[in-house]
Amino acid sequence: MAAIHHEELDRVPIYAGLDAKFVELITGKRHASAKSYIGGGVPVAKEVSMSDYEVLEWNQRLSHEATRKLGTDVFSVSDYWLWPESYTPQYIDKHTFIDWWGKVYRRLPKVGTNYWIDGILKTEEDLENFVPPDPDEFNYDLVDFAVKDAKDGDYPVIGGIHLAGMFPYLMMGGIDNFSINLYMNRRFTKKVVKMVADVQTEIAVNMLDRGVDIIAETDDIAGASGPFWSPKVMKELIWPPIKKMVDLCHRRGVPYLKHTDGNIMSFLREFVDYCGFDGINPIEPQCMDMGEVKRLYGERLYIRGNVDITWVIPYGSEADVRADVRRAIDQGAKGGGFILSESNSFHPNCKFENILTYVDEAKKYGVYPCGKVEAEKYEQ
């Protein structure tokens, strides 16, 4: 938490978003499969021997154990892992199901994963017939466990949510349908965004009530070539619910981290000033320069990024990994306000030995004083 408040510590804090494959390799224990769960790398099976909540608590325990053994510094819990206790997946066929948000997923049993294929909210009539999940009926035992376990080792807990951008368009069947309806039926698109934001705001409140230390909102709003939508659309639909959530967190004394992949440099200044969030992640290295972000925004934002998981971690040598860790620390660490992380998550195609090297080099090279880029004075 000191890093978030722009303080230099003994070393740079380290984050690692680990796929289940790596949690198993680190702990020597198997992840359990859930029947309902559809996000974040947990295996999904149609028939399971444990209740989903038993599965999720077991997997959360493994995640914490892996964090401790790997030597990284943050726990996290996600809205992907929270749903109404009455929920069961609605199967369309043997391997295809609808989740509690109306998103359609297909299971791949041979590799123990699943992927999004569609959403059921194609028309305004679909929305009228859809009953959104009630966040007060969710089971938050997993959040309670994460917060309690974190206190035993002084780990901050990130509460991950979705809000405006990717999540609504997945419910609507994709970014194409979302964007077409911005012009053909703007009212429909705005209704979906508002519905998601209203429910997710209450999920965040319930997480905050249980003691999470940070809210991280993870809806992508850009690709490598730039923003998904025009500045006008951003200001009308996407940014207002983010600002509302940021203000809510600040009233509770909790920092807000905004995640988005892609290149956001063209609108980052206006985005920060409008919404007032505290941190940015991951600053995708293929299309953004983290040193430039540190220089321009490092006094205003804390930065979490951005070791390359597109090429360096999956395919690079040990020397490549060490060089990229040093590059990230050089760009982000000076003066604090920096947490080292991968540039999205450690997906299954990453080399396990390169993840170990990532942590090893961070602990060697990330000892303060470190970092080379000086943050300029930020004036709104």
Cβ atoms of residues 116 and 47 within 8 Å: no
For residues 77 and 146, the answer to whether their CB atoms sit within 8 Å is yes
Lowest-confidence segment of 1-15, 102-116, 230-244, 269-283 by average pLDDT: 102-116
Whole-model pTM over 0.85 = yes
Asked if the model's pLDDT at residue 248 lies above 80, the reply is yes
Farthest-apart Cα atoms in the chain, separation: 59
pLDDT digits (tens, 9 = 90+) for 253-284: 999 999 999 999 999 999 999 999 999 999 99
Average pLDDT taken over every residue of the chain: 93
Bridge partners, residue 76, by sequence = 158
The predicted-structure confidence for 316-375, as pLDDT tens digits, reads as follows 999 999 999 999 999 999 999 999 999 999 998 999 999 999 999 999 999 999 999 999
Calculate what percentage of the chain has a pLDDT beyond 70.
95
Whether the Cβ atoms of residue 208 and residue 249 lie closer than 8 Å to each other: yes
Q: What is the mean pLDDT of residues 243-259?
A: 98
Asked if the model's pLDDT at residue 195 lies above 90, the reply is: yes
- Give the contacts of 187 (CB within 8 A, at least 6 positions apart): 124
User: What is the reported pLDDT for 291?
Assistant: 98
Residue 190 has pLDDT above 60, yes or no: yes
Domains, the chain, with CATH or none: 20-71+75-83+115-155+157-212+214-254 (3.20.20.210)
Amino acid 77: pLDDT: 95
Model pLDDT, residue 199: 97
Collect all residues with Cβ–Cβ distance below 8 Å to 148 and sequence separation of at least 6. Answer: none
Mean pLDDT of 40-62: 75
Percent of the chain at pLDDT exceeding 90: 81
Taking the C-alpha atoms of residue 213 and residue 217, their distance in angstroms, rounded to an integer, is 13
pLDDT at 39 over 60: no
Predicted confidence band at 112 (pLDDT cuts at 50, 70, 90)?
low
Of the pLDDT bands very low, low, confident and very high (cuts 50, 70, 90), residue 36 is low
pLDDT of residue 35: 66
pLDDT in tens, 146-177: 999 998 778 999 999 999 999 999 999 999 99
Pairing of strands 279-282, 214-217: unpaired
pLDDT band at 45 (very low <50, low <70, confident <90, very high): low
- 3-state SS string over 297-359? HCCCCEEEEEECCCCHHHHCCHHHHHHHHHHHHHHHCCCCCEEEEECCCECCCCCHHHHHHHH
* 51 — pLDDT class (breaks 50, 70, 90): confident
